[in-house]
């Protein structure tokens, strides 16, 4: 890595995608493959990148938006904008300060930070060194005692919601990181749960998929147990099927993240923005919906909100920015999206987020 990534943003960066070429230069081949790659033939990854371009805006003119703002309240946290940093694992792959750098950037931009179970910085250190709002992303561990310990640590350290990821009990097959035999560097690990990546033990003739990983994967009963085990809101991340969205509500979910995991788990899934309208119709007004996978522009944020999302999350651009300009880069990415969102709102006649709906989109006419 070049030392310059610690202190400056390259002068020619004008959009989120501009960070990608700099990140590729700064990262090792293995780190780049892990961060930028996706499962199988990367069809879902490509679809995520193009889905929003197919949705057309319908602008308005002569609107009075002089009192405009992008403020939002989510689970008791008042935020300046609806742009959330996604729970990305092993952020020290991109920057020596890892998740701490991202949390500081989110705090500087008055936004929400989400810490991954597989973070490379201890959750207590993030809480000690930052004061911004934060959620904890949970992967269920092999037994409930280990899972509950993580939840209780998050509660004790001021994390205000639990975001449980349910769509990745098994990594996608034949992905780029496997082709380059990815291994974490010696100074990067899942410090909050060191046993998280152990391969399950299986009997002779058993399947590593069915009798291995899936045997310890969570169920809807585990979601209900989690709800009973914490005082914090529980947000379920990784919903694509509207049937599962309904089941999540039945299980008591306080919010949903509509996500295909950035194309990293199962290839050829639909994009979140494709299924969002139906899920919104089924959940209208009852629980917040957060959308990730493919958000790269302020217009993308606007379109997701118009189709029913309450907020959005961004993942890979955070890592690209970290690898390019550290926490300053991450803050810049968030600010770029917010500036582009404000511009889109102004030109579409929307004074605040409540004014954004599907009347702002041409595809629904």
- Crossing angle (nearest 10°) for helices 316-347 and 29-36: 40
Distance separating alpha carbons of residues 117 and 235, to the nearest angstrom = 14
Active site residue 261: yes
| CA gap 132, 172 in Å, rounded | 33
CB atoms within 10 A of CB 282: 13
Q: Report the distance separating Cα 157 and Cα 119, nearest Å.
A: 15
Tokens of 197: 């990546």
Q: Estimate the crossing angle of helix 316-347 against helix 298-306, to 10 degrees.
A: 70
Calculated CA dihedral for residues 126, 128, 132, 137, nearest 10 degrees: 40
Six token digits for residue 277 = 């309208």
CB 157 within 8 A of CB 127: yes
Count of C-beta atoms within a 10 Å radius of residue 152 = 12
- Rounded CA-CA distance 287/63 in Å is 30
* Strand partners for 255: 235
Element (H, E) at 103: helix 98-108
Q: Which residues contact 43 (CB under 8 A, 6 or more apart)?
A: 263, 267, 268
Q: How far is the first Cα of the chain from the last one, in angstroms, to the nearest whole number? A: 49
The residue annotated as part of the active site, out of 81, 95, 261, 355, is 261
Q: What residues act catalytically?
A: 261
């Amino acid at each position: 890595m070049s030392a310059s990534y610690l202190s400056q943003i390259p002068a020619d960066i004008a959009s989120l995608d501009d960070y990608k070429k700099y990140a590729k230069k700064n990262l090792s081949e293995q780190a780049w493959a892990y961060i930028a790659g996706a499962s199988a033939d990367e069809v879902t990854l490509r679809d995520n990148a193009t889905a929003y371009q197919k949705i057309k805006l319908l602008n308005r003119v002569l609107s009075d938006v002089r009192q405009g703002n992008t403020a939002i309240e989510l689970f008791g946290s008042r935020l300046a904008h609806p742009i959330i940093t996604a729970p990305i694992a092993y952020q020290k792959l991109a920057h020596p300060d890892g998740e701490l750098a991202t949390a500081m950037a989110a705090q500087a931009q008055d936004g929400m930070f989400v810490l991954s179970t597989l973070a490379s910085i201890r959750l207590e250190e993030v809480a000690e060194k930052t004061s911004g709002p934060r959620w904890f992303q949970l992967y269920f561990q092999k037994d409930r005692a280990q899972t509950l310990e993580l939840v209780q640590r998050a509660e004790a350290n001021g994390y205000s919601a639990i975001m449980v990821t349910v769509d990745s009990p098994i990594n996608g097959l034949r992905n780029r990181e496997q082709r380059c035999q990815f291994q974490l560097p010696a100074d990067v690990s899942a410090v909050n749960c060191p046993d998280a990546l152990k391969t399950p033990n299986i009997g002779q003739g058993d399947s590593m998929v069915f009798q291995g990983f899936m045997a310890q994967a969570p169920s809807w009963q585990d979601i209900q147990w989690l709800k009973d085990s914490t005082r914090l809101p529980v947000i379920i991340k990784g919903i694509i099927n509207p049937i599962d969205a309904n089941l999540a509500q039945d299980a008591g979910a306080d919010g949903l993240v509509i996500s295909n995991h950035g194309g990293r788990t199962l290839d050829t899934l639909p994009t979140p923005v494709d299924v969002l309208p139906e899920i919104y119709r089924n959940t209208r007004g009852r629980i917040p919906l957060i959308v990730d996978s493919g958000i790269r522009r302020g217009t993308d944020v606007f379109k997701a909100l118009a189709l029913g999302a309450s907020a959005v999350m961004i993942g890979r651009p955070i890592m690209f920015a970290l690898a390019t300009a550290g926490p300053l880069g991450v803050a810049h990415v968030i600010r770029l999206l917010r500036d582009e969102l404000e511009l889109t709102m102004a030109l579409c006649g929307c004074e605040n987020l409540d004014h954004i709906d599907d009347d702002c989109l041409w595809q629904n006419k």
